[in-house]
A and B are shown apart, each in its own frame.
Chain A
Amino acid sequence: MTAFAVIAGIILASGLMVVRSENLVHSVLWLAVTLIATAVQFVLLNAPFLAGMQLMLYTGGIITLMLFGVMLTIRDEGVDIPNPSEGHLAGAGAALAFLVPTLYAIWGTPDFGPMVDPITAKDIGSSFLGPQLIAFEALSVLLLAAMIGAIVLVRRKDP
């Protein structure tokens, strides 16, 4: 229970720093901390395979993409990359408008059902090649389309 409390604290604190940080690179790195803490939380939730996947794909992949994106879109030199934000009150209002009904729904449900046995990588694999086969194949086509789309979008046309 204490492990859960510590990890949940890290997730929420770094999530807060992501949306409040003044420096864009710091914001992305706090996102990396959030993602790693979520991977640890996955381990606590009996999902070690997903934790490994989260570390590999999210932190290893998405953070790299974000950092490259930051590098390709900055104008000034130096380590202070501005990350402006406005409309804090409206933003907080929108967040609370989502949060309050959701918390009401979560804590209004007394029971979620019995716990199942811990899920192994084999179960997930059988799920992919069984009930979720079409989604799996569609996902591979989607990833191919995203790759080709991104390359086509940013290709510089030769004059």
Chain B
Amino acid sequence: MNPIVHALVIGVPLLTFLMGGAALATWFERRFSGKMQTRWGPTVVGPAGLLQPVADALKMMQKEDIVPRAADRTLFNLAPLFPPFLVIASAAVIPFAATIDADGAVKATGVVADLDIGILWVMALAGLMVFPIWVAGWAANNKYTMLSGMRMVAQGISYEIPMVLCALVPVIFAGSLSLSDIVAYQAVHGWNALSLSPSAIVGAVAALLFFLASLAEANRIPFDIPEAESELIGGVMVEYTGIKFGIFMLAEYLHTIVASALTAVLFFGGPLGPGPAVLGLGWMLGKTLVLFVLIYWIRWSLYRFRSDQLMDLCWRILVPLSLVLVMLSALLVAGGFA
């Protein structure tokens, strides 16, 4: 099939799923946290409050659009556009379904673009995600947004290192950067985090570290300090009104969905699971949902880290551990144990 047609056929449903998922995530977060805190959450708008995201979006759209007088207008208006764009673009390489190949092998499909450099594309975009937030913080000409922007950049570039290194572990096992090759490897050798082979320990620890680093990249509690709602009001987003603020929030919820989908593909087999291959989409969505609920569960259970605790955790614990994991996985592959 023509690559552009293929991309559209898979990309449009994926885009719908991501946007709808992000909107539902706002509803889910409020109902789930309500459940954990024995209160209701939104129940009024629509059945069980399911139209609450629509109401939120309409409310945000009709708010007055204020740009501070001394702000850099062009950058201030441009900065919100990039975070959702980068997050959705990084979801273009995630396989969502599986088929059986001609010779009985499991092949991951349902990818918008099955790049040879699959995971590198995701990591490159994750590295780019810190800029629009810094630009937003700077363009608002506000000391607090500037502070928050610097903290977010520092956190983003620091946690990028364990994220990239731990994403290298399945790459070393599978011998390829392409995400469909990683899924094919897991089809033969067992899931990277849960198999019974010697590489499972390395895979499990790498999964945990990758998950934590993705949480830090997405600025979710406990790594929430740059945009802490109760301390810095909204951090970078303080000067943004109405729909621009909504776009930043949308990017954050999208990032949680994409981070869970990515962890599911890299470490938990993605579309693989017992049963016929046509259930691949269901398995992928199920695993993404489990990790997604885990993200929100963590968010409403833990305190947030202080800035220095955050940096300490990254540089003194996660980075050396990730380096050791990469070395161990290379040794395992060279020794023939994986």
Where the two chains meet, the residues of A that have a C-beta atom closer than 8 Å to any C-beta of B are: 25-26, 29, 32, 36, 48-49, 51-53, 55-56, 59-61, 63-64, 67-68, 71, 78-79, 120-121
Inter-chain contact B141/A52, CB cutoff 8 Å: no
A-B contact pairs, 5 of them (CB 8 A): A48-B115, A48-B116, A56-B124, A68-B153, A121-B117
Is B120 an interface residue when CB atoms closer than 8 A count as contact? yes
Q: Which 3 A-B pairs have the closest CB atoms?
A: A60-B127, A55-B124, A52-B120
Inter-chain contact B116/A79, CB cutoff 8 Å: no
Is B245 an interface residue when CB atoms closer than 8 A count as contact? no
Inter-chain contact B128/A55, CB cutoff 8 Å: yes
CA distance A78 to B127 in the complex (A): 27
Across the interface, which residues of B come within 8 angstroms of A53, CB to CB? 120, 124
Chain A residue nearest to B70 (CB atoms) is A78
Interface segment out of the listed B5-13, B129-137, B269-277, B313-321: B129-137
Inter-chain contact A52/B134, CB cutoff 8 Å: no
- How many chain B residues touch A (CB < 8 A): the figure is 27
Inter-chain contact A79/B70, CB cutoff 8 Å: yes
Within 8 A of A (CB), among B112-159: 115-117, 120-121, 123-125, 127-128, 130-131, 134-135, 138-139, 141, 150, 153, 157
Inter-chain contact A56/B153, CB cutoff 8 Å: no
Instruction: Knowing A64-B153, A79-B72 are in contact, say whether A55-B138 is a contact too (CB < 8 A).
Output: no
Across the interface, which residues of B come within 8 angstroms of A26, CB to CB? 75
Chain B residue nearest to A49 (CB atoms) is B117
Inter-chain contact B116/A78, CB cutoff 8 Å: no
**Count of A-B residue pairs with CB < 8 Å:** 65
Task: Return A125 CB to nearest CB of chain B, in Å.
Answer: 10
Task: Return A139 CB to nearest CB of chain B, in Å.
Answer: 17
Task: Return B299 CB to nearest CB of chain A, in Å.
Answer: 26
Chain B residue nearest to A63 (CB atoms) is B131
Across the interface, which residues of A come within 8 angstroms of B138, CB to CB? 25, 79
Inter-chain contact A59/B128, CB cutoff 8 Å: yes
Task: Return A25 CB to nearest CB of chain B, in Å.
Answer: 7
Most buried by B among A36, A53, A79: A79
Chain A residue nearest to B143 (CB atoms) is A77
Inter-chain contact A79/B120, CB cutoff 8 Å: no
Across the interface, which residues of A come within 8 angstroms of B125, CB to CB? 55
Chain A residue nearest to B76 (CB atoms) is A79
Is B252 an interface residue when CB atoms closer than 8 A count as contact? no
Across the interface, which residues of B come within 8 angstroms of A79, CB to CB? 70-72, 75, 138-139, 141
Contact of B116 among A36, A55, A63, A120 (CB under 8 A): A120
Inter-chain contact B71/A56, CB cutoff 8 Å: no
Is B174 an interface residue when CB atoms closer than 8 A count as contact? no
Across the interface, which residues of B come within 8 angstroms of A61, CB to CB? 127, 157
Across the interface, which residues of B come within 8 angstroms of A59, CB to CB? 127-128, 131
Is B239 an interface residue when CB atoms closer than 8 A count as contact? no
Is B209 an interface residue when CB atoms closer than 8 A count as contact? no
Inter-chain contact A56/B120, CB cutoff 8 Å: yes
CA distance A56 to B127 in the complex (A): 6
CA distance A29 to B120 in the complex (A): 23
Across the interface, which residues of B come within 8 angstroms of A63, CB to CB? 131
Chain B residue nearest to A29 (CB atoms) is B135
CA distance A126 to B157 in the complex (A): 29
Is B160 an interface residue when CB atoms closer than 8 A count as contact? yes
